[in-house]
Amino acid sequence: MKSPISYQKAIEELESILQFLEQNEADVDQMTQKLKRATELIGFCREKLHKTDLELQAIFKELEEK
């Protein structure tokens, strides 16, 4: 991934890529570039959601122990 971004920015960029692909007749090179970036962003979002899930589980476990 290019640089650390927020989850919201990643989602916005994914939406932008999807809109670009739906509205434009992109050439193969553009399409390949956009799809590679989308793959990076999806991986980032999945990891962010997984880490958030783990953090929430830890918080809930801590609350149960009190």
21-41: per-residue pLDDT in tens?
Answer: 888 777 889 999 999 999 999
* 52 in any annotated domain: yes
> How high is the pLDDT of residue 65?
87
At residue 2, does pLDDT exceed 70? no
Task: Give the domain extent around 49.
Answer: 7-65
CA angle 40, 33, 47 (to 5 degrees): 5
**Count of domains forming the chain:** 1
Count of residues for the chain?
Answer: 66
Local structure of residue 24 (DSSP, 8 states): S
* 2 in any annotated domain: no
